Every structure is written in C-alpha cells, then in structure tokens.
Structure 1
Amino acid sequence: MEFIVKSGTPEKQRSGCIVVGVFESRKLSAVAHQIDEVSGGAIGAIVRRGDLDGKPGQTLLLHNIPNLPSERVLLVGCGKEKEFTDSRYRDATAKAVTALKDTGATEITSYLTELDVKGRDIFWKVRQAVEVSESALYRFDKLKTKSNNNRRALRRVVLAVPKRSDLGPGEQAINEGRAIAEGVRLARDLGNLPGNLCTPTYLAEQAVEIGKLYGLKTTVLEKADMQQLGMGALLSVSRGSRQPPKLIVLEYQGGKAGEAPVVLVGKGLTFDAGGISIKPAANMDEMKFDMCGGASVLGAVKAAAELKLPINIVGIIPSSENLPDGDANKPGDIVTSMSGQTVEVLNTDAEGRLILCDALTYAERYKPAFVIDIATLTGACVIALGAHASGLLANHDPLAREIGNAGKYTYDRIWQMPLWDEYQKQLDSNFADMANVGGREAGTITGACFLSRYAKNFKWAHLDIAGTAWKTGKEKGATGRPVPLLVQFLINRARKDGADMDT
C-alpha cells in the first residue's frame, strides 16, 4: 500500500473516493461542508433524508456528486463532535478503509486526518491513519489454496493535511507508521502460522533473515549451548517435544559503541499443550499464539532497524514447545535455572516463566539500561483486563511510566498492577527455592513475582499480553500487539528528551 500526504481543497481532488466525516445529529465536518457547498447542497440533502445520522460505525458511499472531479464520496459517522477521541478517530479510519476495500476505488483521499482530535496533532493523525489502514486491510490467506485477490483493490491512500507546512511532518509520520505496520504484520504472520510450521527452528530462521536484511548480529543458541550455560529451566520445558529448543538473540547497534542497550525478551512458546498438566481440548488450537511475545520482539526490532533509530537494542527469544511426553516435566519435579535458583514445577502449564527466567539471566551479560519481557503468560490477566489492556508489572516506576506513556500515544494500552513483596510468599516451596505457581489468587501478579526473582540486577518491566496478543471467535487471529507500544518506547528512548516526554 502506498501512502502520501497532500495539501489541497477537496473540490479539486481527482480521486477514486474522497472520505469525509459527519458528526452525530447530521452535522457535517468542515470538509464535508465545503463539498456540500460546491455540490449545491447535495451532501446536506442526502444527510437530511436520514441515510446517515453520523453515529459511530456508519458509512454511506455516494456516487456522481455534482461539480466534484472525484468518482465517489464516502461519508463516515464520527459520533458526537465533543467526544471525537483517539478511539473514535481510529475506528472511523478503520471503517472507511473496510467500506472501500471491495469497491472499484484503487485510490482514496481521506480528510479524516483534518478532523480535530483532542490533544493530537497532524503527525499523530497521519501515523495512526497508516497503522490503522494497514491493520484493517490485513489478511492471512497464504495457506489457502484459493485467495480473493480483489479484496485488496486499494493501492494508494492520500492523507490530507491542512497546510503545506504539514507536509514534512506528515511524510515522517508515514515513514514511522509504515515501519510499525510492517513490524505488526510480521508479528501477526508469525502468530497466525500453525505450530507444525512455526517451530522454534522456523522462528530462529526468521530472525536470521531479519538479521541479514538489516545487518544485525544474530546468534542462535542450540540445546548443547544451553546445557553448557546451565539453562535447566528452559531445557526442562523442551524435554517433552521432538522440536529442539532455541535461544534466539538479535543485536541492533544504532547507538554509540558501549552504550547500554534496551533488552527485549519475548516468550517464544510455539505451541503449548500444557505438558503433563494438559490443557482442555476446547480452543487448544489457539495455543499456537503462545509465541506472540517472541513475535512482537522480532517485529519491534525490525521496525527499529527500518527507522534506523539511534539506540542499541538486544532482542532475546527463548523458544520451545510444551507437550506431554515420557520425558516431559512432571508436577513435583525440581529444576535448576541458569541463575542457580531451584524451582519446584507444581504445574507444567506454567512453563512460560521457566523459559523466560533463564533468558532474563542471560540478558545480564549485556549490562542493559532496561529489560522488558513480553509474554502471553497468564489466563488470569485475561480475566482481569480482558482484551483491551496488557498487564504491566515493574521493579522500576520511571520505566513503567515510560511504557505507559508509549501505550497511551499508540493506543496500545497497558494497566499497571502491584508487585508487592507480600505476593512473593505465595511462591514458597517446601522442597525448592520457589514454586512455579502461587495458587489461584493474583495469578498474573505471582507470575511476575516469579520473574522478578531473576531481574534483581537491572531495571525491568513485564508485559502480560495474554489478553491482547490475539483475538478469538470469528475474528480469530494474532493482533501484533504490543509492537506499536514497544516501537514508540524505543523512539522515545532514542530522542534526547525521550525519558521526559509526556505522551
């Protein structure tokens, strides 16, 4: 998809379709009003007939509007003007693209970017338009023998800006939006692949390809390497699988030599049957999405490299499968992690923290500025936050605030939970240094408490994306979250005032 920014009045635009907003109670936006005047009141007359009231989600496609060179005009309901927020803007943009993707329009000119969104400038609106449009057009049909190629007739989106001075910022916004959208697409593609194709080996191969494309240092640790390092926790999870485990490391050097990197650690469990503590059969197919944390790390590193951010980044992805087998972890087994701490495995389905804890210990060698781990860790997080916000827990409040600000800016939101010492007691074990589960209560928090014991030597945050990494039901599929949040965090860190930026 090609995106460009353009400044000009709507009545002079030759386009397959002009997209304008209409607010509730049939109030035309400023641009819609301009078109109405040029057309001799045609738009207003249609709206007054009641074809579109302006409520959120409504669209109306018009043809042959008088005195307009454009072939079509799409009216998009935007809700109440005073309530036109980030969410409404994103929804209106998505509705517009969805309504037009199956028409004959190969090019559209959107004036939704000129609508006033409280607290947001033209840069934000253009970048969001790119990201939302690409997401709305996304299809995963590469494994279907027949695909409908006509579903993506749109090839060019022109995003209107009010002034010529907005063209420069608009082009920069398009560059950022495209890089983030491509990172999201990569994460979604990897997440949507089935477990028989997207194995730990396949995930490692994709990392190597990204490394070659952007000149990154890529290291893939094999089972023997992990044995030598003493990664007993990670290796215990892989024992039930015929697929060899991998520890994948990507190093992006965009900052100064020796500058402390941001380390992203992503859970790469390519299929999780639960092991001996096997999951129920219903919806177990969705456990192919258990590697979405690792996929988001690949997507974020790819986007950062595409943008040439002046920052050092290390992406670490521990990858394995978790299956039942005669050699698999058994409830009650005790394993020794790379840190030397022992873990009693009370539930083999709490395997994500076992592969992550060794990866966190491995991250210490990079002397990181920050470490952020991303994981589809707990079903408890889905119960607590649903599909709207990822859970955040951290041992460093300024880092948590930065992540939260990045989430607000990108509308890839988080909600911070407490990481109090009182919760640590739930992990007490009679036979090892700790248990890998802490009971039903506060499952998301105790999962993070477990990981925190391996993050004492650096500033660390944990993102539980179990509710946000994929959608279930009719729209089943990976979302690519939290790639937008991660990339925005990295962009902010790369700026001189990144740490203090109020977004």
Structure 2
Amino acid sequence: MDFSPHTGTIEKKRTDCLILGAYEKYKLTSSAEKIDQAADGTLSKLLKRENFKGQAGDTLLLHQLPGCRADRILLVGLGKKKTLTDKIYRKALDAAIQTIAGIPAKRTLCALLEAPVPGCDSRWKARQIALAFADGCYRFTELKSEPNALPVLAHLDLHCRDKEESETAVRGAREGHAIAAGMKLTKDLANLPGNICTPAYLADRAQQLADRYRKLKVTVLEEAEMEKLGMGALLAVSRGSRQPAKLIVLEYQGGKAKDRPTALVGKGLTFDAGGISLKPSESMDEMKYDMCGGASVLGTLLTTAELDLPLNVVGVIPASENLPDGNAIKPGDIVKTMAGKTVEILNTDAEGRLILCDALTYTERFEPKRVIDIATLTGACLVALGRHATGLLANEEDLAHTLIKAGEAALDRAWQLPLWDEFQEQLKSNFADLPNIGGREGGTITAACFLSRFTEKFTWAHLDIAGTAWNTGQNKGATGRPVPLLSQFLLDQRPE
C-alpha cells in the first residue's frame, strides 16, 4: 500500500472513499464541516436521520454526497472530543479499515489526522493510520486454491493542513508502513502449517532477508556445529523430529562498529506436540504458532532494515520441532546445556526454555548491551493476562520500564510480573542443577526464573507472548505481536 500527503481542498479531491471524523452529539471535525457546507448541510441531516451517534468505532458509509467529488464518504465515530485518547483513536481507525476492506475502494483519502489526541502528534497519528490500514488489509490466502476475490486498497492519501504537517505525516506513515511489513512477515510465517514452515524454511526466509538488505547478514548453525558448542538442551528437543534443528543468527549493522548491539532471541518451535509429554489433541493444530517468537524477530529485523535504523541489532532464533519418537527425550532425562548447567527434564512439553537457554548462552559472544527474548512460553501467561497484554519479566528495572513505555506508545502493551528470588526456590532438583519446570504455581514466573539462570552476564528481559501472538476461534490467526512493541523500543533507542 502506498501513502501520500494531501493538502488541497478536500471537497474537490476525487477519490474512491473519503474518511471523515465525527464526535458524539453530531459534532463534526473541521474537514467534515467543510464537506457539510459544500453539501448544503446534507451531511448533518443524514447523520440525524441515520441516528449516527458518533460513539468510538461507529461507522456510516454514504454515497455520492452533493458538492463532494469522492464516490463515497465514510464517517467514523470518535466518541467525546474531550476524552479522545490514543486507544479510542486506534479503535476508530480499526473500525474504518474494516469497512474499507469490504468495498471496492482502491484509493482512499483519510482526514483523521486533524482529530486532536492528547500527547500524540501528527507523526504518531500518521504512523497509526498507516499501520492500521496496512495491517487491516492483511489476508492469508497463500494456501487456498481459490482465494476470495477481495478488493484491495492500494493507495491511501493523508489529508494534512499544510506542508509542515505533510513532512511529519510522511515520516510517520513510513514508520507505520515498515512496522506493518514486519507484522505481515511475522503473520505469514506463523500462519503457515508445520509441514511447510520447518526450521529449514525459517532459515531460508532469514537468508532472503539478508539478500534483500545489505546491512543484514545471516548465519545458520547446523546440528553438528551446535553439538560442538555443547548445546545439549536445544539438541535434546530436536531428537524426536526428523527435521534437523537450526540456530539462525541475524546481524544488522546500522550503527558504528564499536556500538554494542541489542539482541533479540526468539523461540522458533515450528511445531510443538509436547514430545513424550504429549499434548491433548484439541487445538493442537495451533501449536504451529509456537514459533511466533522467532517469527517476530524476523519481522522486527525487517522493520529495522526497512527504516535503516542507526543501530546494531542481533537476532538469534533456535528453531526445532518437539515431537514424540523412539529417540525423543523422556521425563527424567538429564541434559547438559551450553552454559555447563545440567537440567532434569520433568516435562518434555516445557521445551521452549530448553532451546532458549542455549540460544541465550550463545548470544553472549556478541557482547550485547541488552537482550530481549520473545517466546510463546507458558499457558500460565494466558491464564494470568488473557490476550490483552504480553507478560514481561526482567533482571533490570530500567529495561522493563522502557519496554512498558514502548508498548504503551505502540498500543502493544506488556505487563510486568515479579522475578523475585522466592520463585527461584521452586527450581530445585535432586539429580541435576535445576529442573525444567517449577510446579503449577506461578508458571510464567518460574519459566522466566529458569531463563534467568542463563542471563546472569547481561541485561535481560523476557516477553511471554503465549496470549498475544495469535487469536483463536472464528478469527484464528497470528496477530503479528509484539513487532509493534519491539519496533517502538528500537526507534526509541536511536542516538539523539
């Protein structure tokens, strides 16, 4: 989708659809007032006749309004003007694209930049418009023999009050478009079934990114190399699969050579049947989404490269399958990690922390300034936070607060859980240095406690996206989270 600024007379702009805002009690935004004047008050009359209340997310589609050259006008409710927040604004945008996606409008003019949102400038609003519209048009039809013939919104014009706002809007729209591209890659990979999206497939897609962006380099470690490095935990998980594991390493060099990188470590479990601790069959198909952490690393690096950010970023993705087999690890087995610690496997379905611990140890060689791991790690996080917030735990408060702030700005929120020493007491084994589970209580926290044993040499945060990476039910599919959060975090790390 292309984006362009527009500063001309709005009623004279020919377009397939013009998007205008309206508040409660029939109060119009300035552009809507101009259209109403050009139409001799027809817009106001139609609002009252159609009983359009202007509540947040309300929509009203009108056709061929007199005095306006747009084929259609889409009126979007913004709620009360005095209480318009960033979240209400985004709700209005999402409602708009849901309507636009169902009509044959290839080119649309959006006049919602003018709606004042406290604490949010035109750049932020333009970013949200671009992101909402590009993401809202997403459809995964790659594997359908006859994809639905859906209309495609190819171009979005952003109405701006002057040249200065146009320049700001272009910057914001470019950022939003790049974040949406990262989310699309993340969702495309996650929505693919496990028979296609294997560890080797993930590695190939990473290489395609490197071929596309000159500042990105990819290295793929095979199982023989991992064995030499002593990655006994990662390799233990892959033993039950015929698909060989891969350790995918991406290096983005956008900053100075001496600048220490931010490292993103993403769980890339391309299918998780639970191993010998077999999962129930119901909804097991959704375990293709157990690689969403790794997919989000690829998506975030795409966004980083697309925006040419002046930073150094490293992505590390341990990719494997977790299946039952005669050679698979068993409950009670003990494996040795790359860090030298031994782990007693009490549940083979707690495999994500096993592949991540070796990947985290491997990440030490890049001397990262900070490390963030992303994983669909625990069902307990879904129980605790639902599908609204990503679980966040960290060994440094400053990093945790910065991530929370980035999530608020990106409308991709995270919620911090405690990483107290008391929870570490649940990780005791009579036979090894630690077990891979700590019991039912505080499962999300004890999983992070396990990972913390392998992050003592660097500043680290853990994002548990088990509840936010995908939707179930009628709208089943990957969400692309937490690419917006991570992208905002990296944007905030740019040098002044």
TM-score, length of structure 2 as denominator length: 0.98
Shift of 1:167: 1.3
Distance (whole Å) between structure 2 residues aligned to residue 302 and residue 71 of structure 1: 36
Answer yes or no: is 1:443 the counterpart of 2:443: yes
SS in 1 for 2:113: helix
Shift of 1:93: 1.2
Distance (whole Å) between structure 2 residues aligned to residue 177 and residue 328 of structure 1: 44
Q: Which residue of 1 aligns with 2:171?
A: 172
Shift of 1:86: 1.5
Q: Which residue of 1 aligns with 2:306?
A: 306
Distance (whole Å) between structure 2 residues aligned to residue 175 and residue 27 of structure 1: 31
Matches within 5 A, 1:161-310: 161-215=160-214, 216-310=216-310
Q: Which residue of 1 aligns with 2:151?
A: 152
Distance (whole Å) between structure 1 residues aligned to residue 400 and residue 17 of structure 2: 43
Q: What code does the residue aligned with 1:44 have?
A: S
Answer yes or no: is 1:20 the counterpart of 2:4: no
Q: Which residue of 1 aligns with 2:410?
A: 410
Distance (whole Å) between structure 2 residues aligned to residue 63 and residue 51 of structure 1: 17
Q: Which residue of 1 aligns with 2:88?
A: 88
Q: What code does the residue aligned with 1:180 have?
A: I
Q: Which residue of 2 aligns with 1:98?
A: 98
Distance (whole Å) between structure 1 residues aligned to residue 334 and residue 94 of structure 2: 50
Answer yes or no: is 1:397 the counterpart of 2:397: yes
The alignment-based identity, stated in percent, is 57
Q: What code does the residue aligned with 2:192 have?
A: L
Contact 2:250-2:315 within 8 A present in 1 as well: yes
Contact 1:108-1:156 within 8 A present in 2 as well: yes
Answer yes or no: is 1:122 the counterpart of 2:122: yes
Answer yes or no: is 1:381 the counterpart of 2:355: no
Range with greater deviation from structure 2 (394-403 or 26-35): 26-35
Shift of 1:104: 2.8
Contact 1:391-1:465 within 8 A present in 2 as well: yes
Q: Which residue of 2 aligns with 1:501?
A: none
Distance (whole Å) between structure 1 residues aligned to residue 258 and residue 36 of structure 2: 60
CA deviation profile, 1:18-49 (whole Å, cap 9, x unmatched): 11112223322222222112211101101111
SS in 2 for 1:494: coil
Contact 2:103-2:151 within 8 A present in 1 as well: no
Distance (whole Å) between structure 2 residues aligned to residue 217 and residue 75 of structure 1: 46
Q: Which residue of 2 aligns with 1:7?
A: 7
Distance (whole Å) between structure 2 residues aligned to residue 104 and residue 193 of structure 1: 28
TM-score, length of structure 1 as denominator length: 0.97
- Give 5+ residue unaligned stretches, structure 2: none
Aligned pairs, how many? 495
Matches within 5 A, 1:341-352: 341-352=341-352
Distance (whole Å) between structure 2 residues aligned to residue 167 and residue 112 of structure 1: 13
Contact 1:3-1:159 within 8 A present in 2 as well: yes
Contact 1:296-1:483 within 8 A present in 2 as well: yes
CA deviation profile, 1:257-294 (whole Å, cap 9, x unmatched): 12211110000000001111111111100000000000
Distance (whole Å) between structure 2 residues aligned to residue 391 and residue 97 of structure 1: 29
Contact 2:104-2:151 within 8 A present in 1 as well: no
Shift of 1:186: 0.3
Shift of 1:306: 1.3
Distance (whole Å) between structure 2 residues aligned to residue 219 and residue 337 of structure 1: 21
Distance (whole Å) between structure 1 residues aligned to residue 265 and residue 108 of structure 2: 40
Distance (whole Å) between structure 2 residues aligned to residue 6 and residue 30 of structure 1: 15
SS in 2 for 1:373: strand
Distance (whole Å) between structure 1 residues aligned to residue 374 and residue 20 of structure 2: 38
SS in 2 for 1:129: helix
Contact 1:102-1:153 within 8 A present in 2 as well: no
- Give 5+ residue unaligned stretches, structure 1: 497-503
Q: Which residue of 2 aligns with 1:481?
A: 481
Contact 1:252-1:305 within 8 A present in 2 as well: yes
Shift of 1:111: 0.9
Distance (whole Å) between structure 1 residues aligned to residue 179 and residue 132 of structure 2: 11
Shift of 1:94: 1.8
SS in 2 for 1:387: coil
CA deviation profile, 1:146-171 (whole Å, cap 9, x unmatched): 0123x133211111122221111111
Q: What code does the residue aligned with 2:177 have?
A: R
Distance (whole Å) between structure 2 residues aligned to residue 283 and residue 4 of structure 1: 43
Range with greater deviation from structure 2 (455-464 or 70-79): 70-79
Distance (whole Å) between structure 2 residues aligned to residue 421 and residue 122 of structure 1: 44
Contact 1:17-1:105 within 8 A present in 2 as well: yes
SS in 2 for 1:154: coil
CA deviation profile, 1:51-74 (whole Å, cap 9, x unmatched): 311123321111121111222111
Shift of 1:12: 2.4
Answer yes or no: is 1:134 the counterpart of 2:134: yes
